Amino acid sequence: MKRIMSNRRAFAIIENFPRSRVLVVGDIMADHFIWGKVSRISPEAPVPVVEVKKDSFMLGGCANVLNNIFAMGGRVHLAGVVGSDETGRQLLAEFRSRGVDTGGIVVEAGRPTTLKTRIVAHGQQVVRFDREDRKPVQAKSVRKILSYIESLRDDLGALVVSDYNKGVVTRPLLEGIRKVIAGRPIFTCVDPKQRDFSLYQGFDIVTPNHYEAGRAAGEEMQNGQDHVRVGMKLLQQYDLKALLMTRGEEGMSLFERDARMRHTAFPAEAREVFDVTGAGDTVIGVLALSLAAGASFREAAYLANHAAGIVVGKAGTATVTREELKSAL
């Protein structure tokens, strides 16, 4: 494959990360991992008994996108909704401890903060249980988020919409974002979870996985080249500048529309896949930060692909540092 860019150019973009500012908007979640081992089956029911060794609380959902940008040294802001519960308080404390501005985080009474608890034994996930409410957030929460975006819009290089379909990313929010940042040089990047891509119409770049892309296009991808047809179709249908399709062990495919339609394939960079949890958050976080730092879509996708190759080699919801990315290059 023809080289996308020199290491010198890649390092220049990476060095610009600390001067680049990104806002992440979406579904704030917490990932709770309980790690243990199984040595017996319960006498009460035919289920394994997990002997707990440790547990860990990590930023999840769009907060993990923030975490990835933060780990890369980017200047990052967050907007979304948490509940007035212990998980929400824990998340707010975690953001403050990192020096993240919490002005864009709305606390909604009576709504639980989305919490995913995974029990992992011997490196295998045994069960996951979720606490969440997926109904749309209140109209006043949307107004507060839009007001926060308005206060930052003159300083942003990129804006990420991280949609986990948990009630924050709705048509009123997305229409509001379009109005608030209209005419400003801000790259808009969307990680989609909803089937109806008309929600994301006119944003710069959307990053579905191959399953989400096929579903949005109303097509099943059967053979090796179906993804090219689907990518081009979505690009045209929803007035996007680019679409980055993540394809698991097949790597990624970037579709761009400028003078002509262009497809660039990026082979998977992972040496060993340990855990794909949160890899999509790494992709969109590094992509948006690279665009804010002056990269083209192809250069940003190249860097995001390398970052994803590193993160899937780590356990749990992990991040990548600038030094790790440079080493991989």
Contact indicator for 320, 72 with CB cutoff of 8 Å: yes
The yes-or-no answer on residue 281 being catalytic is: yes
311 token code pair: 């993160």
Given this model, what pLDDT does residue 258 score? 76
Checking if the pLDDT of 314 tops 80, the result is no
Checking if the pLDDT of 197 tops 90, the result is yes
Q: Which domains does the chain have, with CATH numbers?
A: 7-328 (3.40.1190.20)
Quickly state the pLDDT bin for 219 (edges 50, 70, 90): confident
Quickly state the pLDDT bin for 259 (edges 50, 70, 90): low
Residue 237 CB contacts under 8 Å (≥ 6 apart), including other chains: 197, 217
Alpha carbon separation from 130 to 34, 50, 173, 276, 324 (Å, rounded): 14, 18, 25, 19, 32
Contact indicator for 234, 219 with CB cutoff of 8 Å: no
User: Cα–Cα distance between 115 and 129 in angstroms, integer?
Assistant: 8
Residue 175, SS3? Answer: helix
Quickly state the pLDDT bin for 300 (edges 50, 70, 90): very high
- 50 - beta bridge partners? 38
User: Cα–Cα distance between 143 and 258 in angstroms, integer?
Assistant: 34
- 119 - beta bridge partners? 34, 127
DSSP labels, 185-211: --EEEEE--SS-GGGGTT-SEE--BHH
User: Cα–Cα distance between 155 and 22 in angstroms, integer?
Assistant: 9
Residue 312 CB contacts under 8 Å (≥ 6 apart), including other chains: 270, 273, 274, 275, 276, 279
Quickly state the pLDDT bin for 106 (edges 50, 70, 90): very high
Checking if the pLDDT of 272 tops 70, the result is no
More confident residue, 103 or 224: 103
Average pLDDT over residues 80-98: 96
User: Cα–Cα distance between 94 and 161 in angstroms, integer?
Assistant: 21
Given this model, what pLDDT does residue 317 score? 63
Residue 157, SS3? Answer: coil
User: Cα–Cα distance between 263 and 114 in angstroms, integer?
Assistant: 37
Given this model, what pLDDT does residue 270 score? 60
Residue 125, SS3? Answer: strand
- Among the options 27, 31, 191, 281, which is catalytic? 281
Given this model, what pLDDT does residue 238 score? 94
